[in-house]
């Protein structure tokens, strides 16, 4: 995405792509980002309550706790992206598959002996 400066304030940045999605889309993006930030803070706070020994058991260190959690969140997002791509691919293939193969009910009718 391309960043551009907004006329609303010197420090504000607006995504150029968000101009195309309208007010409701920008509100949804803002809410999603707020929820993500809130969740990230809650996860870091929960992990910060663990002892150094317990953090070590799960492969984390206190001095890089935020980095570990951000990495974990990036992996989750990458997994979601792959999941969406696989579902889109399967939906496309499902249409092609149904064109070449009969539905289970049709198969049962064809295979019925009697």
* pLDDT tens-digit series, residues 9-51: 444 445 545 556 688 888 888 998 899 889 888 999 999 999 9
Contact 107, 97 (CB under 8 A): no
Chain CA centroid to CA 104, Å: 34
Counts for the chain of helices (H) and strands (E), in that order: 4, 2
CA terminus-to-terminus distance, the chain = 63
pLDDT of residue 11: 42
Q: Which residues pair with 102 in a beta bridge?
A: none
Indicate the pTM of the whole model.
0.51
pLDDT of residue 49: 95
């Amino acid at each position: 995405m391309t960043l551009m400066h907004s006329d609303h304030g010197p420090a504000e940045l607006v995504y150029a792509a968000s101009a195309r999605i309208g007010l409701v889309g920008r509100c949804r993006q803002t809410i999603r980002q707020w929820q993500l930030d809130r969740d990230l803070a809650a996860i870091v706070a929960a992990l910060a309550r663990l002892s150094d020994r317990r953090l070590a058991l799960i492969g984390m260190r206190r001095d890089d706790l935020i980095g570990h959690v951000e990495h974990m969140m990036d992996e989750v997002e990458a997994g979601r992206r792959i999941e969406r791509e696989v579902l889109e691919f399967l939906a496309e293939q499902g249409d092609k598959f149904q064109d070449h193969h009969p539905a289970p009910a049709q198969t049962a009718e064809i295979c019925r002996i009697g």
